[in-house]
Amino acid sequence: MQLFWERGYTATGIADIVSQANLYVGSLYHFFPTKQDLLAAVLEQYRDGIGPVLLAPAWEGVDDPIDKIFALLARYRAALVATDCFYGCPIGSLANELREPDPAIRSLLAVNFTQWSVAITHCLDEAKRRLPRGTDRKALGQFVLTVMEGAVMQARTYRSLETFDNSVKCLRDYLRLLAEHS
């Protein structure tokens, strides 16, 4: 996971993996016959960790559903601050790197994105009284994911929090305007 995040899938060689994991090549190939099998396992680990690793810590002590969305975005901002804007969403980075992944990998990438937007949609469902009737909360959840991915990508590109903060501010303003029109 660490190597794919730091270097990318393509730039990470088998020698790098066995060195980092302190394994013999044969041991790695025993469990993961191909590098792509290892990538699938990494994506499954991300998929299984979204709740306990990402959402639960971000939402600890946060009761308001809209505040939960911004608490999650604040967690991404903290990762950017801690890494001098080097941090990139691992799933977003892999999705961008793998131009045309095979169907199994593409499916795992999609499941990861879907879980994120479903969690946000759940927050929006909890706040539905604060949104105009007829608001497509699923589409809005996908939009929030797009804001996060794009904001992280731009912060990483510019090595600045300005675009991230502007994107989050615009999202906050948009949700406030929706609430005013509900």
Q: What is the pTM of this model?
A: 0.89
Tell me the C-alpha distance between 178 and 57, whole Å.
Answer: 27
Segments in the chain below pLDDT 50: none
Per-residue burial over 88-118, b = 16 or more CB atoms within 10 Å of its CB, e = otherwise = bbbbbbbbeebeebeeebeebbebbbebbbe
The domain spans of the chain are: 50-180
Query: Which pLDDT does position 58 carry in this prediction?
Result: 95
Quick one: which of 52, 76, 72 has its CA closest to 64? Answer: 72
What is the fold of 50-180? Tetracycline Repressor; domain 2 (1.10.357)
Query: Which pLDDT does position 27 carry in this prediction?
Result: 87
Quick one: which of 88, 91, 125, 140 has its CA closest to 111? Answer: 91
Query: Which pLDDT does position 53 carry in this prediction?
Result: 93
Spatial neighbors of 181 by CB under 8 A, at least 6 apart, are: 132
Query: Which pLDDT does position 86 carry in this prediction?
Result: 92
Query: Which pLDDT does position 145 carry in this prediction?
Result: 96
Query: Which pLDDT does position 143 carry in this prediction?
Result: 97
Query: Which pLDDT does position 116 carry in this prediction?
Result: 94
